[in-house]
A and B are shown apart, each in its own frame.
Chain A
Amino acid sequence: MPLNVTIADDSAMSRKGIRRALPADWDVVIHEACNGKEALAAVDEGHADVLFLDLTMPEMDGFEVLTYLKNHHKKIVVIVISADIQPQAQALVYQLGAFRFLQKPLQAGQLHEVLHEMGLL
């Protein structure tokens, strides 16, 4: 059965970029969310076995999504892909239970490496 993957980012270009960077042969169903609230809705609908999460978003930002997931003990694989690359932001993201932090602009090679490491490929 294919995995459910949600890409949460307020930028259409960024979502497209992540889509393109995913391995072509990866057996997944891709869903999209434009802000934190939509991301959580996708989680509730079971659309997010893996969640690619941006940090700076309207309505509800990535930090709030992570906090919510942590407080509600959701077992979701979260890979943060963000432009906010401050060491403090990265540390906070890991504290809140994200699996990986990837820097924007996203490099496809890096993403594949991470997916391999985590046994998702």
Chain B
Amino acid sequence: MSTVQISDDQKDALQEILNISMGQAANSLARLISCKITLSIPQISQTTPHEFSQLFEQGETMHYTRQSFLGDLKGEMLCLMDKSGCDAFAEAMDYSNPPSATELQELILDVSNVLAGACLLGMSKQLTLRNTLNPPMLFDPTLTDFSNLKWQSALLMEVDFVVERANFSSRVIICLEESSISELIDRIDKLLE
């Protein structure tokens, strides 16, 4: 496995940058639903396809979306949402209670778009990168053959968002292609100079 080594300083800086973008994402969502959102400390890890497939072990208990991005950095945003909290969350967003299946899908796509958009744009802005985000799509990991992925290594940046009042939790994961990792690290080094 060929990997780009990330030093502790670089990791610390990336974590802080993510922290700031995730804060902006949480702020966006909080303004949309008027609830306080608790944020976790960002996790950064390099991953193999096998480790990656383990992200989906919770299977049916979660909703999944994916959203690709292009530009200076290339990759995909994944959003995992706990099914059990979605109904209460829908209520906070003025959907009927319980929401219909299509309303729920719309809600999931909306929320992941808000979170992923704010996360990625926040990060790009701090690192003076340019990125465009494609529309989010629902994702069914059971239909994906993870043993057949075409990459060896990717960078994952994960943050958990929890809306305690609605008992809703979700995880946003920025997955970066290997070729984009060195670009990202270059930018971080510039910032650290």
Contacts and interface: CB of A to CB of B under 8 A. Distances in A.
A119 to B, nearest CB: 29
Interface string A85-112: 1111100100000000000110000000
Interface residues of A, number: 19
Interface in B11-60: 12-13, 15-16, 19-24, 26-27, 30-31, 35-37, 39-41
B19 A85 contact: no
B9 interface: yes
A24 B124 CA distance: 30
B27 A105 contact: no
Contacts of B35: 88
Interface of B: 9, 12-13, 15-16, 19-24, 26-27, 30-31, 35-37, 39-41, 126, 191-192
A7 B189 CA distance: 23
13 contacts: A12-B12, A13-B12, A13-B13, A13-B191, A56-B23, A56-B39, A56-B40, A58-B41, A83-B21, A84-B39, A85-B23, A86-B23, A87-B30
A contact patch SS:
loop
B12 to A, nearest CB: 5
Contact of A11 (B12, B23, B30, B31): B12
A11 B16 contact: yes
Contacts of B36: 86, 88-89, 92
A14 to B, nearest CB: 5
A85 to B, nearest CB: 5
Nearest to B30: A86
Contacts of A86: 23, 26-27, 30-31, 36-37
Given A11-B16, A83-B16, A105-B20, 6 more contacts: A11-B13, A82-B23, A86-B30, A88-B35, A88-B36, A104-B20
